[in-house]
Structure formats: C-alpha cells, structure tokens
Amino acid sequence: MATMFRYPVFPHLQGRSVMAEPDYLDGDCDELIKPKKLINPVKNSRNHQDLHRELLMNQKRGLAPQNKPELQKVLEKRKREQVLKAQKEEMEAHKKRSDLEIELMKRQQKLEQLELEQQKIDEEQENTPEFVKMKSNLRRTKQETDGEERTT
C-alpha cells in the first residue's frame, strides 16, 4: 500500500487484499457445503427479460421512452407554436406577397391545421387505454365481416 510516507504503513498487508479469504476455497474440506449464488426471481422472470431486451434495443436505436409529464408536453407545444408564429410574422413583415403567394400561404395554413388536428387525434389515441383500442378494432372487424355477408 503506497502512501505519502517513505515507508509502508502496513508492511504485513503488502501484496494481499484487505478482505479475508474464505477457508473453503483451499479445497481440502470436501465435507463443507459450498455456498451458491442466490438466484434473483425478478431477473429470471420471462417478463423482466423481455422488458430488459426491449429497453436495450430501444437504447441502441436511440429511442428513449416518451413518458413525459403532460405539463411538459403542453409547455413544449406552446413554445413550438410561439416560435412558428414569430417566424411567420417575421416573414410576412419582410416582403409583400402577390395573389399567388397569398393563396399558397392559405393552403399551407390549412395543411398545417390538418396536421395539428391529426397530431391531436394521434395523441388522444396514444393516451387511450389498450382495451379501448382493442374494442374499437373488434367493432371494425365485426362491421367488415357483416358487410361481406350482406354482399354475398
């Protein structure tokens, strides 16, 4: 053990580890029951292994779990909308537009509104419980099969 002194502080411990070595490692005592490593039931469960594998794959791909608090989502959305609005106003102030450009801007705004509505719908579907999604899927398949029976 090297220290700031010129001589070792504990010369009798030099070259050995600080932990005491167990006696059963010598191998002369075959009568002793050697300890085994305890198994962790959580880590051995299939669900835990699947979840761990999925998290590792998502980390490799760069996909982090998107479980942000609702307040943080709303604040980010507001900030993003404010930035977009400021950019639009800045662009409008810098140049005059012709009739064609005005029509194109209107179409672009309509497309952006449709995109925002689609994002809202996606967020609502994302937040709905899975059993509601499955129920709607079952309804759709039932309606499709009823429609096929009526046509035949």
Of 10-19, 45-54, 95-104, which has the strongest mean pLDDT?
45-54
* Euclidean distance between CA atoms 98 and 102, whole angstroms: 6
| pLDDT tens-digit readout, 16-35 | 566 666 665 666 667 777 78
pLDDT at position 18 is 61
| pLDDT tens-digit readout, 102-123 | 899 899 999 999 999 999 988 8
Which residues 6+ apart lie within 8 Å of 23 measured at CB?
Answer: 29
* Euclidean distance between CA atoms 115 and 87, whole angstroms: 18
- For 24, other C-beta atoms within 10 Å of its C-beta total 13
Residue 6 has pLDDT above 90, yes or no: no
Least Cα distance to 64 among 76, 75, 54, 49 occurs for 54
State the pTM of this model.
0.27
